[in-house]
Each structure stands twice: as structure tokens, then as C-alpha cells.
């Protein structure tokens, strides 16, 4: 009688028993592609904003360049938080009332569909009760924050520059096309 052989993980001293989904793949043996560009890539141009990098790739596409071998990579990322305004207890209550009204409208619609009485009154009651409870919870939550965050803001990631990278064996063609684009956009008009 022979004993079954278990698969071994490359570089590991032990073995990996099969699980419910079968034998797990390790990165070295995973048949799925690991990256969009399996070979070496080269940066062919850098731009100060995303719009210019997008225009460059669009120009490559318009000139029949295989853009599936191209990527735009943002570098030197930073988190920018734009302050939108001050949050007071009144504003928090108003925001809570708005979100509570939406939730109350949803609950009112749900109950209104299965109600024997006037479904419009059920929807309006849900909307009003949701708005009141939302305002109460919003005001209480802001008051309990103790002034630690009395402003609202929006966060975004921004890159300092955008690089257009291309597979190394196609880089010369991309450079030639982007040089032509550069001459077209920066040539003096006659």
C-alpha cells in the first residue's frame, strides 16, 4: 500500500496539507499573473498633474501604440485634508436630522407598503420620527465630543508627479511619440 504524497511549499521545510479549497498556491507557483507588466518597465515621461499624463497616454493610443503595456503611476503621495467648515451642535443636529429623515423615509416606505391604513401618513410619520431622532443623536454626539473635532473636512490623496511607464521593449516607440506630442504642444504658433 502506498502513502499519498503531499505537496510541498517551495522554500519551506514542511508540507502544506490540502484544505477545503484544495492545495494553497504560493506566490512562486500561482498561475495568475502577479502584475500588469510581467517584464521590466521604463519611465518614459513625467508630468506635474494627472490630466497631462492621461493626455499623453491618450496620444499614444491615438497613434496605435499598444497602451495595454502602459501605466500611469503617481509618486510622492501626500494626504491633503481640506477643512470645509466649523461644526456646531446645531449643524450636527441638522446633519443628523437629514440622515435620520432618509432612514425614516426608508422605514416608512417599508411599513407603508404593508399597511392597511393610509400609506402616505405612514411614510410621513417615518420621515418625521427619523428626522427627530437623527437630530437628537447628532446633537448629543457632537456635544459629547468635548470640542476635540469642531470642524468638518474632506481628505484626498494627491501625487506630486505622475510617471508614464511602458514595457522596456516598447519604450523607444513611446518616447518618440511623446517627443512628437511635446513638440506639437510647445511649438510656437505661426
Is the distance from CB of 164 to CB of 72 less than 8 angstroms? yes
Is pLDDT of 139 > 90? Answer: yes
Is the distance from CB of 77 to CB of 153 less than 8 angstroms? no
pLDDT digits (tens, 9 = 90+) for 38-88: 678 899 999 999 999 999 999 999 999 999 999 999 999 999 999 999 999
Which residues make Cβ contacts (< 8 Å) with residue 73, sequence separation at least 6?
162, 163, 165
The runs of H, that is alpha helices, within the chain are: 50-62, 89-113, 119-144, 171-186
Residue 103, in any domain of the structure: yes
Do 117 and 94 belong to one domain? yes
Do 114 and 169 belong to one domain? no
pLDDT, greater one: 185 or 125? 125
Q: Which of 28-42, 60-74, 155-169 has the least mean pLDDT? A: 28-42
Q: Which long-range contacts (CB under 8 A, 24 or more apart) does 22-27 make?
A: none
When divided into structural domains, the chain yields a total of: 2
Q: If you average pLDDT over residues 128-145, what whole number do you get?
A: 94
pLDDT the model gives residue 112: 86
Sheet holding 41-47, edge to edge: 41-47, 151-167, 70-86
Residue 15, in any domain of the structure: no
Residue 8, in any domain of the structure: no
Residue 5, in any domain of the structure: no
Quote the cell numbers at residue 76: 510622492
Do 92 and 145 belong to one domain? yes
Q: Which of 26-40, 64-78, 125-139, 165-179 has the least mean pLDDT? A: 26-40
Residue 183, in any domain of the structure: no
Quote the cell numbers at residue 53: 499624463
| Residues of the chain above pLDDT 70, percent | 77
Is the distance from CB of 167 to CB of 41 less than 8 angstroms? yes
Confidence of residue 126 (pLDDT cuts 50, 70, 90): very high
Do 59 and 91 belong to one domain? no
What is the β-pairing status of strands 70-86 and 41-47? unpaired
Instruction: Report the phi/psi class of residue 85: left, alpha or beta, with left for phi > 0 and alpha for psi in -120 to 50.
Output: left
Can you give the residue range of the structural domain that contains 106?
Answer: 86-149
pLDDT the model gives residue 21: 57
Taking the whole predicted model, whether its pTM rises above 0.75 is answered as no
Do 61 and 100 belong to one domain? no
Amino acid at each position: 500500500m502506498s502513502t499519498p504524497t503531499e505537496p510541498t511549499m517551495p522554500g519551506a521545510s514542511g508540507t502544506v496539507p490540502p484544505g477545503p479549497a484544495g492545495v494553497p498556491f504560493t506566490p512562486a507557483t500561482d498561475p495568475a499573473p502577479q502584475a500588469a507588466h510581467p517584464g521590466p518597465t521604463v519611465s518614459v515621461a513625467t508630468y506635474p498633474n494627472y490630466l497631462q499624463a492621461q493626455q499623453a497616454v491618450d496620444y499614444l493610443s491615438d497613434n496605435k501604440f499598444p497602451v495595454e503595456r502602459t501605466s500611469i503611476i503617481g509618486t510622492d503621495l501626500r494626504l491633503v485634508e481640506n477643512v470645509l467648515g466649523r461644526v456646531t451642535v446645531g449643524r450636527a443636529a441638522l446633519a443628523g436630522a437629514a440622515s435620520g429623515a432618509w432612514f425614516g423615509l426608508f422605514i416608512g416606505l417599508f411599513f407603508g407598503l404593508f399597511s392597511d391604513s393610509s400609506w402616505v401618513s405612514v411614510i410621513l410619520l417615518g420621515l418625521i420620527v427619523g428626522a427627530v431622532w437623527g437630530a437628537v443623536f447628532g446633537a448629543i454626539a457632537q456635544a459629547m465630543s468635548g470640542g476635540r473635532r469642531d470642524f468638518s473636512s474632506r481628505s484626498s490623496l494627491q501625487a506630486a508627479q505622475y510617471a508614464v511607464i511602458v514595457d522596456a521593449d516598447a519604450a523607444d516607440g513611446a518616447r518618440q511619440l511623446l517627443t512628437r506630442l511635446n513638440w506639437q504642444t510647445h511649438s510656437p504658433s505661426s
